[in-house]
Amino acid sequence: MHDAILKAALRGELKKSELKTAKLKGEVPAIIYGRSIENVSIFVNGQELLKTYHKHKGKNTIIKLVYEENNKEKTINVMSHDIEYDPLSHKIIHVDFVKLDERHTIQVNVPINIIGVAPGVKAGGVLIQNLNSFKIKSLPNKIPNCIDIDVSELNIGDVIKVKDLADKIDYTIENEPIEIIIQVQSAKKGKAGDEGSSAAATETSGAK
């Protein structure tokens, strides 16, 4: 796995005008926290951060932050825990980075990737995806880019639930086992749109 390296700069106490100037230059205020360290306030370049997300695993990218402190270069492995966006411009305005410990698992959301074509769809059915991501617990260096779900054997009326997935060696799926991930309905039922999702939710609740 290639390291995602991002330069940062320590951020001291700033006046509002100084903070505004830094933001206009594209600098995003951020904080680093985690096990065995005191909180560190920093700036990162917003564009470079976005490039890092796009090039690697998005928010789940392990980033090696590099900054200078007391005339010495420091590096620290982090992951973005919370990203705050401007409601109008949708630009990143603040980031919470959590320091990683390769010996401890963390909980993250990982997108689901559908592969294959369901026979039920070829027969005129509708594929309905109820979950777009999984909540998983994993060691930082074992976090997958996405989790593939193969639908190539699904006929009309078939469903795939969390409990149907094979056991994972490198991570644990934290979602409820009875949650429906994918289902193939007849075209008539599929036209219900949102009602399809409601029916799935009802089925999930009834299975408890």
Structural domain boundaries of the chain? 4-99, 106-206
Q: Which helix (H) or strand (E) holds 122?
A: helix 119-122
Kindly indicate whether the domain formed by 106-206 is annotated with CATH number 3.90.1150.10: no
Residue 198 has pLDDT above 60, yes or no: no
Element (H, E) at 33: strand 27-33
pLDDT at 194 over 80: no
Q: For 82-120, b where at least 16 C-beta lie within 10 A, e where not — what string? A: ebeeeeeeeebeebbbbbbeeeeebebebebeeeeebbb
Cα separation of the two ends of the chain? 40
Under CATH, which number does the domain 4-99 receive? 2.40.240.10
pLDDT of residue 192: 53
And the tokens for 165?
A: 């997935």
Question: By percentage, how much of the chain surpasses pLDDT 70?
Answer: 87
Average pLDDT, stretch 162-185? 88
Choose from 2-6, 86-90, 165-169, 191-195 the range with maximum mean pLDDT: 86-90
